[in-house]
Amino acid sequence: MSAPASVFPMLEPRLPSVSKPIQYVGGELNSTVKDWDCAPEGETVRWALMYPDAYEVGLPNQGVQILYEVLNERDWIVAERTYAVWPDMEQVMREAGIPQFTVDAHRPIKAFDVFGLSFSTELGYTNMLNALDLAGIPLHSADRTDEDPIVLAGGHAAFNPEPIADFLDAAVLGDGEEVVLAISEVVRDWKAEGCPGGRDEVLRRLAVSGNIYVPRFYDVTYAADGTIEAVVPNRPGIPFRVRKHTLMDLDAWPYPAKPLVPLAETVHERFSVEIFRGCTRGCRFCQAGMITRPVRERSIKTIGDMVENGIRKSGFEEVGLLSLSSADHTEIGDVAKGLADRYEGSNVSLSLPSTRVDAFNITLANEFSRNGRRSGLTFAPEGGSERMRKVINKMVTEEDLIRTVATAYSHGWRQVKLYFMVGLPTETDEDVLQVAELAKKVIAKGREVSGRNDIRCTVSIGGFVPKPHTPFQWAAQLDHETTDERLKKLRDTVRDDKKYGRAIGFRYHDGKPGIVEGLLSRGDRRVGRIIETVWRDGGRFDGWSEHFSYDRWVGAAEQALAGTGVDLDWFTTRERDHDEVLPWDHLDSGLDKDWLWADWEDALAAADGADIEVEDCRWTPCYDCGVCPEMGTEIQIGPTGQKLLPLSVV
């Protein structure tokens, strides 16, 4: 196949007419441009990778960067990147007939073999439809021909891809590093044989492995009450359940090794190292913690090597140590001290994203701020009252929190940020108002221990959205009117306090976007019609408040669901029962459904005063969630006994 022409000659003269043109130019430090035919005749496999949001959000995304590098390391694979284009650029492209293109070699997406999209949030679905349309790829999988790429979804939101099932050819659950190479081999072999059986055959080959979900090979039937009756394979050899992928040896995959350095300003200007994957704390609202089990730690030596290599290759001066709960790494103290020693006196600073209240210690905080500025500390109690924290299994007492912030304020920190959620199951107005009381106590304690009045506390509140594969997947979502009322009462309570009100910052989102996210999180295939209707009506960038329109989504839901017997509320504010078939039941995250249900019942019992705590299975006997035996995996934690070498200062 001859290489497709670059669209850059058409693009370049039009760049001055759009905002931030630099984001469409490519050529970032550590980016890769390969020959279109880098392998022997017909055996090159070509991937276009997309994070379906703007460049400034998409470029720093770890998942896409890792896959980009893993794929390009193979001499027979070409991988390039593309991002969602802003409305002004979309208009230019439509007027000039410029298709969706990669930023690396400006090749049209339609020319690639695989178009892989990574979804960390469901609000990127309309951007996917826009990219498909701009690329000239039919929106619906059923309408595609052998000339079109395989459209493949991954990322956390792919654990329930049913709302976008009609637009996808395939979806991957779990870790991507190994599976993208396995998919590439299937595609290469099929191409080398002359593409027998067309796209149907290559999709069949992917599906029979048991590890790739191909929606068209499954039929969904509905009962009279609107619930799902069954999801069953519609041809021989297709598995009834599709399993997630789990990468067990993180040390063997030390990516990104060549971090991309953005040309335009992005949301994170730092080099990030994932120090472990998975979380077994058991917070009932947290999908990420549930679907990424078990815990797999990187060794201290690999972390040190990755940091040193990443700084050298990128020039970044801030290093973020990432995971769902970074202070829980068994050797975090040694990691922090080793890195702080190594980079003392240089301009490299270390950061730890939000820390669990009970995992924080001042020695750790001092190591992380030794070389850099003292930014504020962020803690996430999640629930305002003790009762709510028991419901969500976030076992942090008020005393724990006050003691932790007292330590921070007494050691010179001036600002603390607290993160909470509103709309959790069984929540009352009183539970939410407790957030204000907690914030006041934090300020009071800070003033007392520091002897200063310039103490600040920012309260940040998000709306709770029930997610698949969690104990709260059966819960009713709180309607947006009640969410907004509770937030208003809380805001007024904080503002009316003459003594502490001015020291407390208050950030929150209104309840409407959460309802749409809830619809997309727990929706089934009928929701695809809503997404398409919204996109045709101009819906783009739904994760951005200035582009989001709740009325557009409500109107689309009424139109698309007419005659189905279900509506927006049915998908969001309705509680499910034990026997209902959930849209994602045939997608196996390793978690036992009965265990999840028992944990949901424990949450309801905790709401009524029962003292039930599910501890972290890293340090306690197994709770039988199902992941380790089901997936043939195990918890991997230190200490490894390794030290961070060399200890000489860089």
**Is residue 275 located within the same domain as residue 235?**
no
Lowest-pLDDT choice from 124-138, 415-429, 547-561, 632-646:
632-646
- Assess if residue 251 is contained within a domain: no
Which pLDDT score, from 0 to 100, does residue 372 have? 63
**Residue 298 and residue 189 in one domain:** no
Across the range 499-516, mean pLDDT stands at: 94
pTM: 0.96
d(CA 13, CA 103): 16
Task: Kindly state whether residue 616 falls inside one of the protein's structural domains.
Answer: yes
Same-domain status, 461 and 504 = yes
| pLDDT at 650 (0 to 100) | 52
Average pLDDT over residues 94-120: 98
Residue 646, preceding peptide bond in cis (omega within 30° of 0):
yes
355 pLDDT more than 90: no
Instruction: Give 273-320 pLDDT, tens digit per residue.
Output: 999 999 999 999 999 999 999 999 999 999 999 999 999 999 999 999
- 30/157 same-domain check: yes
CATH number, domain with residue 486:
3.80.30.20
Residue 549 lies in a domain: no
Least confident of 150-164, 327-341, 429-443: 327-341
Question: Coil, helix or strand for 186?
Answer: helix
- Residue 645, pLDDT > 60, answer no
**How much is the pLDDT for 40?**
79
**Residue 415 pLDDT > 70:** yes
Same domain, 208 and 307: no
pLDDT digits 0-9 by tens, 583-603? 999 999 999 999 999 999 999
Query: Quick check: is 12 in a domain?
Result: no
Residue type, 187: V
Statement to judge: residues 216 and 298 lie in one domain = no
- Is residue 636, in this structure, part of any structural domain at all? no
Q: For residue range 208-256, list pLDDT tens digits in order.
A: 987 899 999 999 999 999 999 999 999 999 999 999 999 999 999 999 9
CATH number at residue 211: 3.40.50.280
C-beta of residue 116 within 8 angstroms of C-beta of residue 180: yes
Task: Specify whether 427 is located in the same domain as 369.
Answer: yes
Instruction: Enumerate residues 6+ apart whose C-beta is below 8 A from 469.
Output: 159, 160, 287, 290, 291, 584, 589, 591, 596
Three-class DSSP labels, 93-118: HHHHCCCCECCCCCCEHHHCCEEEEE
* Same-domain status, 160 and 303: no
On whether residue 431 sits in a domain, the answer given is: yes
Range of the domain at 381: 270-509+586-631
- 342 and 424 in a single domain? The answer is yes
If asked whether residues 465 and 345 sit together in one domain, one would say yes
Structural domains counted in the chain:
2
* 112 and 159 share one domain: yes
